[in-house]
Structures are given as C-alpha cells and as structure tokens.
A = this chain, B = another copy of it.
Amino acid sequence: MKSIEEKYLELKSKSGTHSPSIQTILGVIPELKIEVDACFLSNPYATELFLSYLKRELLDTGEINRILEFYPSQSFEIAKLLSKHVGVNEDRIFITNGAIEAMQAVIHNYVENKIIVNIPTFSSYYEFTRRDTEVVYYSLQKENNFSLNINDYLKFVKAEQPDTIVLINPNNPDGGYIKHVDLIRIIESLPEIKNIIIDESFIHFAYEDSELELKSIVPYLENYHNVIVIKSMSKDFGIAGLRCGYGIFPKGWVKDLTTNGFLWNLNGLAEYFFRLYVRKDFNEKYEVVRKKYITESLFFISELQRVKGVKVYPSRANFVLIEITSGKTAVEVATELLVKYGVYVRNCEDKIGLNGEFIRVAARSKDENEIIIKSIDEVVNS
C-alpha cells in the first residue's frame, strides 16, 4: 500500500504546474487531516463575511433553491451592474468564470507573436499561449529579492519588441509589489506595446504605506488604450469555489468576444456574489476585514523572519516566498508539513525561474498563522 507521502507526491505530479486542490487531496487521501491550508492565497475573514451574508440571505430564507434551479443572468447584465462600482464603462468589463477564463480569452485571442512573462510567476501566463506565440522570460533576480528593476525591464522589453507583456501586481509567488507611480512610469514608457496585461488578483492585499489603502490601476485606464486588467475575486474575497473573476479590456474586445460566445459563464452563486460586491453595506464590512487581514499578514511575515534555517523574501501580499537554507529540500519540507502537521504549503519545485529550495506560504487567520510558524520551524530545523 502507498504511504500518504507517496500518494501526495503522485497527486502533485499529476496536477502539472498547479497544486492539487484540497478537494482533490481529500478525495484521494481521506486519511489525511489538513489543519491549515496555507497553499490557498485567500483572506479567511472575507470568506467568513461572505458566508455570513450567504447564510442570512440565501440559506435561512431558502432563496438558495431558486438560485441553483434557474439560469443565472447573462454576463452583460452583471457587467452593467459592476460598471459604476468598478469605475469603467460596462462595454469594457468581461465577466468570467474565475479570472483564469479572462486570461484564457486574452491569451488565445489577442496575444500575437511574442509575450514577455516575468519569472517566477503564475504558470498559466506562459502555459495558455497559442502554439504560434513565442514566450520570452524576463527573470526576476533572487539577488535582488525578486523585485522588478524597472530600468532593466524597460530596456529588455524595448529590445525584444513583444506585442504583449504581463505584470502581476503584487507578483505571485513572491509578493513583489510595483508601486503605483512606477507602474504608471512603465505604462507610459511603453506606448508601442499592444497589450500590457496587469493582473491585480492580489492588489487588495498590497499597500503603498501604513494607511493600507488599495491602489488599483483601474481608475487610470481611460488614459491608456493598451492596458488590460485581470481580476480574480477568489483571493481577496476568499471564495475560490464560486469562480468569480473579470477582465477590463480595451474598447471593442468585449463586444467581439461576446458576439460568438461567453453568454452564461456565471453560476447562480457567482451572480449573487457580484450583486453583493457592489453593495455599500457589504463593502464597508469588507474594508474592515481587508485591513485586519493585511495587518495580521504583516505580523505573520515579520514573525516568520525569526525562524532559523529559512530565508524569507520581502512581500507586499498575503503570502511569502521562503527559501529553505537548513539543507532540507522544498519537497521534503512541504511533504512533512502536510503529513505530520496538516499544514498545506506550496512546494515551488515546479516554478521556473526559481533556483533553490522554495516554498510559498500564505497568511491565514491569527491562530492558524501561529501553527504555520511553529510547524515550519520544527520541520525545517529537525
């Protein structure tokens, strides 16, 4: 019989460059007890908030039945709904079944000959490309804490002349953040690039200063015809099972795409979420848990830096890239954390552009963070 370790490693290898979900892991290894999912990069307090609304408005009322039985609205209805809240005309909002569908639509339909992807990164940006698209990697340097050297990057882009570049801000898996003023500088330096994709899936966890205010590029989009924004709701709102995302696309794209597709990509609960997302009462409560979670993440990352045998890279997101320096491999550490402590972290051995033994760890709730730190300390240094 296979051990839990063997089953987990087999699952991981079958999931390609992504992590097997908790659902998948528990389906195959029901004997495994997962205490803390520090692989999933989400705000658990936002999940709680959403679930409290769901309970009050859909479960206690029985309204959930109607939502699951009947067809949800067509996507354009939801785009219209989001327009004012997001601050962009509805004809530029492409509502999707998870942000991944927006990425896929952009990469399959608008990326042409060459795309520059900064590594390490979220692998779909290079894996989803068409066969006729060349992927060129720009390496974020470990020696530079994976932060983007803007002058060097601009020089690289101008030399390569791609049609598309991608900036995840803050970047996954390292949490490196490009400040608003620097992002504007990059955009304004590259008017010749057809598509500048800015992935703001983690922007709610980033901040410019101790006010912890959210600084999105979206309110500035009117000035730039070539910027595409991708937004996942799974992380900031902690609702990955709902599959909610959207893209903000250049004029004309949404009309083009919906001419022959993408009519009903939302499920009923995703529609319910989007209707909450634009509500004042929900947003006021959300803003409180957003800041609470950022503050705890900041504390969590600073505490992690006290652990011996690891190097913690700087992050302005809700997760952190950790290099194991104690001599153990990332696979060993991730497997031991999962099997012995029930702590699920992202083993980064499959991430291109990472040389060394890296794991990525997400901040969770306060109590869970303590378990994570204690477990990592014990595993790394045992």
User: Which residues of A are in contact with B by a Cβ distance under 8 Å?
Assistant: 15, 18, 20-24, 27, 37, 40, 42, 44, 47, 50-51, 54, 59, 64-74, 77, 97-98, 100-101, 104, 107-108, 124, 127-130, 234, 238-243, 260-271
CB distance from A83 to the nearest CB of B (A): 15
Q: Tell me whether B270 and A267 are in contact (CB under 8 A).
A: yes
A4 to B72, CA, bound (A): 21
CB distance from A363 to the nearest CB of B (A): 15
A15 contact set on B, CB distance < 8 A:
74
A44 to B15, CA, bound (A): 37
The residue that A108 contacts in the complex, of B18, B66, B260, with Cβ under 8 A, is: B260
Known: A27-B77, A74-B21, A260-B129. A265 touches B101 (CB 8 A): yes
CB distance from A143 to the nearest CB of B (A): 32
CB distance from A157 to the nearest CB of B (A): 23
- CB pairs A–B below 8 angstroms (24 shown): A20-B74, A21-B73, A21-B74, A22-B71, A23-B73, A24-B74, A47-B65, A47-B68, A59-B64, A68-B239, A69-B241, A71-B240, A72-B243, A97-B97, A100-B263, A104-B261, A104-B262, A107-B260, A108-B261, A128-B261, A241-B267, A241-B269, A267-B269, A269-B269
Q: Tell me whether A241 and B70 are in contact (CB under 8 A).
A: yes
Q: Tell me whether B267 and A77 are in contact (CB under 8 A).
A: no
Q: Tell me whether A21 and B70 are in contact (CB under 8 A).
A: yes
A47 contact set on B, CB distance < 8 A:
65, 68-69
Return the 5 tightest CB-CB contacts between A and B, nearest first.
A241-B268, A21-B71, A68-B241, A71-B240, A243-B267
Q: Tell me whether A242 and B260 are in contact (CB under 8 A).
A: no
A23 to B70, CA, bound (A): 8
Q: Tell me whether B68 and A51 are in contact (CB under 8 A).
A: yes
A18 to B18, CA, bound (A): 37
A21 contact set on B, CB distance < 8 A:
70-74
A267 to B51, CA, bound (A): 16
Q: Tell me whether A68 and B269 are in contact (CB under 8 A).
A: yes
A311 to B40, CA, bound (A): 57
The residue that A128 contacts in the complex, of B20, B50, B241, B260, with Cβ under 8 A, is: B260
